[in-house]
Structure 1
Amino acid sequence: MMPLHILTTLLLPLTNHALASHTAPIVTKSYLITGANKGQGLALCQRILQEHDDTHVILCSRDVARGEEAKKSLLDTNADYENRVNVMQLDVTSDSSVSNALSDVQSMLAYRKLKLCGLVSNAGILWGYPLPELMEVCATGVKRVLDAFVPLVEEDGRVVVVTSGLGPLMHQYSGAERQSAMMSKDCDWNVISSMMKECLDAYASTGDDDLSARIDAFNAIHFPGGPFADTAPDFHMYGLAKMFGDAYMKVVARRYPKLRVNSVDPGLVYTDLILRMPKYAGKEMEETTAQSPHEGVEATMRLLFDKDAGKGDESGKLYALNKEKTELMFSDIDKMPQKQ
């Protein structure tokens, strides 16, 4: 007969495995992230899966092949993620793409008995793009995503729009009537899109090489860029698009008072977005002051999972970590939280 101590040694791993399988949390909570095939979006998917083992992520990518590559990179870190990740084709600039993704997400959630507990509008572009493209991705794209998927989010769920500190800066530079219109409780997409059209018309009225004329055109409609207008016009245009995206976030927050709907400024993060900028082109992360993508999504993670973050009167706000990266702070969309 086999000695008891040997039998116990052989059975212990099986017992532990069975116990682990029995006690593993049931995956019920799904989180949809746009622009998730790289950078902050992919880092966010990874952190959600690593830190919350009852979660599932919908990894949205404009290019399905890149989305599948991103999923593979997640599986390379943990093969158990196989059933916790679904890749979804989603181009935030396309009505039909968003509509098709909505239908597929609804079917998938129902089939897998998952609840959509969080939505992150992360897809974005930054440097070197004309204003029409920036508006389409960072403002109208935000509207498409929120209009489609926010109605699916469970009560008290979280909605996060990834923004930039340039949004509130451009808000502050704007004329008083413009600021008032964006902060008004009567602000809606009609108000926002009308202002966007004025900006697009001003942009189209000047040549790409005539910076002086562009500055005059935006001053005339009370959307100046402050010091960025001539020193970094890309930031002026990008900041305007982010400002309008934040304004629509507030509209949605008012529309869904039982949800927590907020924008977040991650700060400077080392991704493809900043590597297009001359200041950072060709530099390794250690040569910059940028955070890693893993670090850059910390504020978003807190908005998605911290018990009290973004709740009640603290919904419809702009969030960021303090300078020490320890505390989540918030303000309205017309200023940066760290400067309260």
Structure 2
Amino acid sequence: MDMRRILVTGANKGIGFAIVQAILEEHDDTFVYLGSRDAARGQAARMALKPEWQARADVVALDVSEDQSVARAAEQVARSLGNEKLYAIVNNAGIGTGAGASLTKVLQTNTVGMHRVCERFLPLLDPVNGRIVNVTSASGPSFVARCSTAMQRFFLDTQATWPRLQSFIDECIAMDGDKPAFAAKGLDDGEAYGLSKALANTYTVLLAREHPALRINACTPGFIETDMTRRYAESQGKSPAEVGMKPPSAGARTPMHLLFGTLEGNGHYYGSDAQRSPLDRYRSPGSPPYTGA
């Protein structure tokens, strides 16, 4: 049986691990490279899979915020592939602003990290049937909605280039902590997480334009209970379920659709209900799908 080989970053827990489980459970012809910043935690996650799935999973030490780590991971996967190609890349790894994470760290992980992975792993991807799924967040469109008209045009620019995005990221890092500077730039308060996810969505659009033969899309997994979001419930003295969070398995729904479903078009952003959504405003799950460009 020919195996569809898939890399999932940030795969040792939360939504990433739920995606790995869903892939292996629903598709017998798949093999997953379980990307984990910490190899030991990655091995623990692999051993937590059903025994019959473990032979179809391998751990790859992969810290998306470090160039050398991503390069070593790509070399490991290339050796494993031999003459085969990856079927898909799932860019799931990401961090929030908890535990004092700086804007620099958030951007280097959530946006630049996604670019690092794509640059290193694109040569390993099937040039005909390959797919890239960028797990972003509804915080991205919500952030864009709070920006000035000029900055909204920036995030929605279908002709954006990575050098231009990198220059903008450098500019934002230079303003780190200076809320008045962000406001003057038309970027609201410069909230790091939303900004990083808005940029990740813009990167998805430009990547799809540069690689039209592939299927490259972004999505929000929804309001999911993870280590990152659990603090929000705890700060209110409530359980995750009480504030509306869903389990990680629910967060795998749209990534799985983008991995294996029939898709129209390319370079789109999808809501947690697996329906197309706009990049400049929040769309509630269950509402009519977005049909714009």
After TM superposition, the score normalised by the length of structure 1 is 0.78
Alignment RMSD, CA only?
A: 1.9
Q: Which runs of 5 or more residues in structure 2 are unaligned?
A: none
Q: Hey, what does 2:103 align to over in structure 1?
A: 131
Q: Hey, what does 1:331 align to over in structure 2?
A: 277
Q: Hey, what does 2:271 align to over in structure 1?
A: 320
Q: Secondary structure of 1:273's partner?
A: coil
Question: 1:281-314 CA deviation, whole Å, 9 max, x = no partner?
Answer: 77544433111111111011111111x22x4xx3
Matched, 1:301 2:217: no
- Identity over aligned pairs, percent: 35
Note closer, same or farther for the CA distance 1:160–1:280 as it changes in structure 2 (3 Å cut): farther
Q: Hey, what does 2:185 align to over in structure 1?
A: 221
Matched, 1:88 2:34: no
Separation (CA, whole Å) in 1 of partners of 2:4 and 2:41: 24
Match of 1:73 among 23, 27, 48: 48
Match of 1:291 among 243, 246, 254: 246
Q: Secondary structure of 2:86's partner?
A: strand
Separation (CA, whole Å) in 2 of partners of 1:282 and 1:89: 36
Aligned residues: 283
Matched, 1:33 2:8: yes
Q: Is the 8 A contact 2:219 2:272 kept in 1?
A: no
| 1:219 positional shift | 0.9
| 1:57 positional shift | 0.3
Q: Hey, what does 1:271 align to over in structure 2?
A: 226
Q: Hey, what does 2:120 align to over in structure 1?
A: 148
Q: Secondary structure of 1:271's partner?
A: coil
Note closer, same or farther for the CA distance 1:286–1:174 as it changes in structure 2 (3 Å cut): closer
Q: Is the 8 A contact 1:203 1:217 kept in 2?
A: no
- Which amino acid letter does the alignment assign opposite residue 321 of structure 1? S
| 1:114 positional shift | 4.4
- Which amino acid letter does the alignment assign opposite residue 39 of structure 1? G
Separation (CA, whole Å) in 2 of partners of 1:247 and 1:160: 14
Q: How does 1:222-241 map to 2 (within 5 A)?
A: 222-225=186-189, 236-241=191-196
Q: Secondary structure of 1:30's partner?
A: strand
Q: Is the 8 A contact 2:230 2:240 kept in 1?
A: no
Q: How does 1:92-241 map to 2 (within 5 A)?
A: 92-110=64-82, 114-128=84-98, 129-154=101-126, 155-204=128-177, 206=178, 214=179, 216-225=180-189, 236-241=191-196
Q: How does 1:37-52 map to 2 (within 5 A)?
A: 37-52=12-27
Separation (CA, whole Å) in 2 of partners of 1:275 and 1:151: 37
Separation (CA, whole Å) in 2 of partners of 1:280 and 1:287: 12
Q: Which runs of 5 or more residues in structure 1 are unaligned?
A: 1-25, 207-213, 230-235, 323-327
Question: 1:123-149 CA deviation, whole Å, 9 max, x = no partner?
Answer: 011132221111111111111011111
| 1:173 positional shift | 2.0
Q: Secondary structure of 2:60's partner?
A: strand
Q: Is the 8 A contact 1:60 1:90 kept in 2?
A: yes
| 1:186 positional shift | 2.9
Question: 1:234-282 CA deviation, whole Å, 9 max, x = no partner?
Answer: xx22100111111111111111101111111111101101023365577
Matched, 1:246 2:201: yes
Q: Secondary structure of 1:321's partner?
A: coil
Q: Is the 8 A contact 2:233 2:239 kept in 1?
A: no
**Which stretch shifts more, 153-162 or 260-269?**
153-162
| 1:102 positional shift | 0.7
> Highest CA radius of gyration, 1 or 2?
1
Q: Hey, what does 1:7 align to over in structure 2?
A: none
Bigger helix fraction:
1
Q: Is the 8 A contact 1:198 1:221 kept in 2?
A: no
| 1:172 positional shift | 2.2
Q: Is the 8 A contact 1:37 1:67 kept in 2?
A: yes
